[in-house]
Amino acid sequence: MPLPLLVPALLAATLVSLVCGAGLGASGLTWSEVLRYLWAGLSGGSISPDEVPAYTIVWELRFPRAVLAAVVGAGLSAIGIAVQAMVRNALADPFVLGISSGAAVGANAVLLFGALGALGVWALSTAAFVSALAAMALVYAVARTPRGLTPLRLVLTGTAMYYGFSAITTFMVFAAERGEAARSAMMWLLGSLGGASWGSVPIAAVAVCGGLAHLAWSARRLNALAMGDETAAALGVDAGRFRKELFVVCAAVTGAVVAVSGAIGFVGLMVPHAVRMLVGADHRRLLAVAPLLGALLLIWVDVLSRTVLAPVELPVGVLTAAVGVPCFVLLMRRNSYSFGGA
């Protein structure tokens, strides 16, 4: 599919979806009201006092939630691509580095035991991000060799740490014995955008935009790296050093994303493959399309998660799989997609 058509189309669809994300829900607002509130929020315009509750729903709850869904979806998709090239494994996803389960330890310490209470509403995302960085430092320290980071060691270390951190989290849930807290811990592990507010958008947005910029700048080097370290060296790319650079970027973005949304699975594994089926394996094309497709997917998945069984909210992870798997199977059946040479 030609990119000059695909990218603007996806961009337009994403913008329309953001508005839909703000409009769709249980409160029965008309679209003209929704648009007016969004405009008021964007332009700083005024509304009448009796409109405040509806305005709050649209501008303070739903819209930041849709924006955060877009940011998280874009981040996870792009990082999925980078991690797959970095460990040269088509089955890798952003969570294979063990960063997300590290973040979960911090998040659950807050949810279950009220750690960092002094930070108030910031406690959860701060704890998640800080423990993500700690997990990153640990994985790095264990996986590094004098020749830099090698793909297999990185995957093995990440996977081992993943189980280690998960064990700590499980133990914490087990030890806490607080019904509601255990439920929110579970919600967090499966991923949720329920905690979204304007406060949680900037950190994630800055991390994701920074990460995307770095990856776009590295797209050609990612191509070289995907062909193997030896080939990369012959093309003037120092694989060991580049992989360290990627590791830091991926870990920081994953940490920031996970801190605001929990561990939303599937997006970071499947969106990269879906996009490869659409535009091929060249990372310059992949990185132009994948963030938009990921954003689009997650906006709609989040809308579904809070409307399908309203007022009960489904974990996003359940729906990313429910929406994503059929789409993915369809794409795979239709294309002669060559997956790891098979």
- Angle made by CA atoms 263, 269, 273, in degrees to the nearest 5: 155
152 binds other proteins (CB under 8 A): no
Give whole-number Cα distances, 261 to 11, 101, 132, 253, 254, in Å: 23, 13, 13, 12, 10
> Measured between alpha carbons, how far is 289 from 334 in angstroms, rounded to an integer?
20
Binding characters for other proteins, 261-290, by CB under 8 A (x = yes): ---------------x---xxx--------
1 binds other proteins (CB under 8 A): no
Binding characters for other proteins, 204-233, by CB under 8 A (x = yes): ------------xxxxxx-xx-xxxxxx-x
Residue 44 or 146: the one with the smaller Cβ distance to other proteins is 146
Report DSSP letters for 192-247, one per residue: --TT--GGGHHHHHHHHHHHHHHHHHTHHHHHHHHT-HHHHHHTT--HHHHHHHHH
Among 32, 43, 48, 338, binds other proteins (CB under 8 A): 338
List the interface residues with other proteins, window 68-87 (CB under 8 A).
Answer: 84-85
Taking alpha carbons only, the member of 337, 190, 205 closest to residue 274 is 337
Instruction: Find tokens 């699975």 and name the residue.
Output: 265
Among 33, 35, 89, 323, binds other proteins (CB under 8 A): 89
Among 62, 65, 88, 306, binds other proteins (CB under 8 A): 88
Instruction: Provide the Cα torsion 50, 56, 57, 62; round to 10°.
Output: 150
334 binds other proteins (CB under 8 A): no
Q: What is the closest distance, in whole angstroms, from the C-beta atom of residue 275 to other proteins in the complex? A: 12
List the interface residues with other proteins, window 235-264 (CB under 8 A).
Answer: 235-238
Which residue type, as a one-letter code, is found at position 134? Answer: A
Residue 6 or 303: the one with the smaller Cβ distance to other proteins is 6
- Angle made by CA atoms 215, 137, 238, in degrees to the nearest 5: 45
Residue 148's DSSP bridge partners are 145
Q: What is the closest distance, in whole angstroms, from the C-beta atom of residue 191 to other proteins in the complex? A: 26
341 binds other proteins (CB under 8 A): yes
Among 1, 234, 308, 330, binds other proteins (CB under 8 A): 234
Interface with other proteins by CB under 8 A: which residues?
84-85, 88-90, 216-221, 223-224, 226-231, 233-238, 276, 280-282, 337-341
